[in-house]
Chains A and B, each alone.
Chain A
Amino acid sequence: MSSVSRKPLILGDKTYKDITDDICGPTETFPSKGWFGLFLGAKALFIFYIIIVAIIISTGMGLLGVNHPIAWGTMIVTFVFWIGIGHAGTLISAILFLFRQKWRTSVARSAEAMTVFAVMTAGIFPLIHTGRPWLDFWLLPYPNQRGPLWVNFRSPLLWDVFAVSTYATVSSVFWYVGLVPDLATLRDRSKTKIRRLIYGVLSMGWRGSARDWTHYEMVYLLLAGLSTPLVLSVHTIVSFDFAVSMLPGWHTTIFPPYFVAGAVFSGFGMVVTLLTLVRRAFPVFKDYITIDHMEVMNKIIMTTGMMVGYAYASEFFIAWYSGNPYETYAFINRATGPYWWAYWIMVSCNVIFPQIFWFKRFRRSIPVMFVVSILVNVGMWFERFVITVTSLHRDFLPSNWGMYAWSWYDSAVLFGSFGMFFTIFLLYLRVLPAISIAEVKPVLYVGKKPKHGGQHG
């Protein structure tokens, strides 16, 4: 062991059996009133969302505020928002794995679950945004009877189709591969026949032989190595949707790194929000998802928040330094024009409020981090709103100016999407182990004196 003593990653005097019992517990007991309350609320919102989406699809996109000149509105803003949320999950599960950050083991499962559910939530938006969702299969290059007329591979919007669908597929598979050994644990613990059957099918007969583990660990490493460039590519390509156009405010080379940093920032905000709730709903998890874990994530929130702040400043500098009047106007208008309030909500939530994490006391305070993590996500939604709407509402020709006609349907799809996300997430907490059992056990003795003499690694 190194001379610097490490803090234990798992609190309490646990044995391997305690870990199994603690983590499997929530899937085997009747849910608490708190869980039911949250679930009923989320489900009511989800049903409301389904109805709203049905109305929008059957009536048309005109119900939303999109029109000339602002043809991209809530659907695109909220799509980018949810995709961005997903990125922190992959950062935790893949990039921190490659960097051998052992603290990730406690939070990786839920963060990765958040990724999968956030991408599911996000994916619906561009499909509805097309206006005729029943023709969405036109997005795919398939042999057809119109020539065949193929998709335009030069369009960033098509790159996005490939990027997001690959991301959804690979992160689901990565998550599932991580789940297999834990599903086998649940299978072997199950008391009833039906549980045994369900977890037996899901675990696919995993037994945990050393030869299987060798292949398993290799595949986990490979998937982490593949997911890392993938996650960077996804938000890069999302930013290309904007950056490849000619519009002032969109046409900037800083977009790919700026979008990726913002995605990680908002994703960590969501991870902190969710994990504070998980810690509250299942107090036994406080020994696994400790204040130390939360503090590390708050440090990442502050760091990425400052990276995003740097990008905001850099955009203004380039707008001035380029000497391009349209570019300069676009940015002055952003901060002082009709949408000044959106800009300043974004700046205060993303750059100013997270600075509170310079103080260790606040970094380790659950109420403070809960509030800041929500503000971060408010700010990041407004960032996408600022980029999309304020750039469109004032372009080159004053005759082409306008405002976004926000309707209550815009609010309904935005808030309704949280109902979808939280319904799935709450169900996940009840039926799957919310902490990776097989990954937590090997780090049980980190920062502790091992009971059985020789400590490996």
Chain B
Amino acid sequence: MAKRVGGVVGLWDDDHTLVSAAYKVRQAGFVKFDAITPFPVHGMEEAIGIKRSWIPWVTFIMGATGCLAGIWLQYWTSAIDWAVNVGGRPFFSGPAFVPVMFEMTILFAALSSVAALFFACRLPKMDPSIIDPDLTSHKFALFIPENDVGYDAGRVEQLLRQVGAKEVRRISEY
């Protein structure tokens, strides 16, 4: 969401009815809508139809990169750039290089996973629009953006009330 869109938001007081409401909104044909909850609600991905996160691919590729970087760093410094004879051991001392390879794997994988999370969630976000301050505490929301398929403000408001929203608001930007 590079540019902000307006839409209609419905507020709920509990997570269980929110999941069934999200399912009904999806049944009504909306695809771009989102839920805003204070904690990850079990079953929400299935109800909205969110695909599995792609971040594990980043973790795997960057973990492998870290491992190779670890091998390369130790091989190049110990056997090529300035090879020092340490107690007659081979310049490329394979088994002794395993711990650093392992640590580099973990470091690259972990940091790049978090970087991917920030990228995926578009964080850090300056001045996020906050629909309701209680949405990070005890309220739950469904947000249907105005660019969604078949959006009609009046119809959407009616739908959200129908599926149990306690409060429905139009917002100009999210």
Contacts and interface: CB of A to CB of B under 8 A. Distances in A.
Interface of A: 15-17, 20, 141, 147-154, 156, 158-159, 162-163, 166, 169-170, 173-174, 177, 180-181, 184-185, 187-189, 204-219, 222-223, 226-227, 229-230, 233, 237, 240, 437-439, 441-442, 450-457
A205 B136 contact: no
Contacts of A452: 14, 16-17
Interface string B127-154: 1101001111110000100000000000
A442 B41 CA distance: 7
A215 B34 contact: no
A159 to B, nearest CB: 4
A181 B39 contact: yes
B33 to A, nearest CB: 9
Contacts of B128: 205-207
A453 B16 contact: yes
A233 B126 contact: no
Interface in B25-79: 34-45, 48, 50, 52-53, 55-56, 59, 73-74, 77-78
Interface residues on B, range: 35 or more
Interface in B89-131: 89, 93, 96-97, 99-100, 102-104, 106-107, 109-111, 113-114, 116-118, 120-121, 123-128, 130
Contacts of B11: none
Interface stretch (B80-88, B155-163, B165-173): B80-88
Contacts of A437: 38-39
A218 B133 contact: no
A189 B56 CA distance: 33
Given A185-B137, A456-B43, A212 B121 contact: yes
Contacts of B34: 209-211
Contacts of A159: 99-100, 103
B78 A153 contact: yes
Contacts of A230: 103, 106, 110
Q: Which 7 pairs between the two chains have the least Cβ-Cβ distance?
A: A205-B125, A204-B124, A16-B138, A218-B53, A150-B77, A188-B133, A205-B128
A184 B136 contact: yes
B44 A210 contact: yes
Contact of B133 (A158, A166, A189, A210): A189
B89 A210 contact: no
- Chain B residues touching A, majority SS: helix
Contacts of A204: 118, 123-125
B8 interface: no
Contact of B37 (A151, A189, A210): A210
B99 A185 contact: no
A17 B104 contact: no
A188 B35 contact: no
Contacts of B78: 150, 153-154
A450 B82 CA distance: 67
A168 to B, nearest CB: 11
Given A174-B110, A212-B121, A216-B121, 12 more contacts: A16-B138, A20-B138, A170-B111, A184-B136, A204-B124, A214-B53, A218-B52, A223-B113, A227-B110, A240-B99, A442-B39, A452-B14
A378 B96 CA distance: 34
B106 A170 contact: yes
Contacts of A184: 136
A213 B125 contact: no
A358 B56 CA distance: 43
Nearest to B55: A218
A212 B93 CA distance: 44
B19 interface: yes
Given A16-B138, A141-B73, A153-B78, A166 B38 contact: no
A416 to B, nearest CB: 30
Given A209-B35, A216-B117, A166 B74 contact: no
A163 B70 CA distance: 13
A148 B82 contact: yes
B103 A185 contact: no
A154 B91 CA distance: 10
Nearest to A221: B56
Nearest to A212: B121
A414 to B, nearest CB: 28
A210 B41 contact: yes
Given A162-B99, A205-B123, A205-B125, A214 B81 contact: no
A207 B128 CA distance: 8
B12 to A, nearest CB: 11
Given A159-B100, A188-B130, A222 B42 contact: no
A438 B135 CA distance: 12
A437 B84 CA distance: 53
A166 B50 CA distance: 33
Contact of B123 (A151, A162, A206, A454): A206
Nearest to B97: A153
